Amino acid sequence: MPVASARHILVKTKAEADSLKQQLAKGADFAKLARKHSQCNSAKRGGDLGEFRPGQMVKAFDDVVFKKAVLTVHGPVKTRFGYHLIETIYRN
């Protein structure tokens, strides 16, 4: 069973997610932006979600973490929680 580690920033609107993604593209610090803007409890850890397996997160989130490029910020990804910017740190 694969395992992955990821971090994310969760915000309420696509516009906010797009703005944060542009800041990241210009070299902003992911953890700092997560601490400041993310609506998730993981914000205090810089958005770090730790390790998890497929099926532990909602499908749209899993699809990014287990199928898309590692160490790349993907999104905005819409879920019932809001809009995520997701970066997979590693997966096996």
The pLDDT tens digits for 41-77 are 999 999 999 999 999 999 999 999 999 999 999 999 9
Q: Spell out the domains of the chain, with CATH numbers in brackets.
A: 4-91 (3.10.50.40)
Question: What is the structure's pLDDT at 51?
Answer: 98
CA–CA gap between residue 86 and residue 10 (Å, rounded): 9
CA–CA gap between residue 91 and residue 45 (Å, rounded): 19
Give the distance, in angstroms, between the CA of residue 80 and the centroid of all CA atoms in the same chain: 14
Q: What is the pTM of this model?
A: 0.96
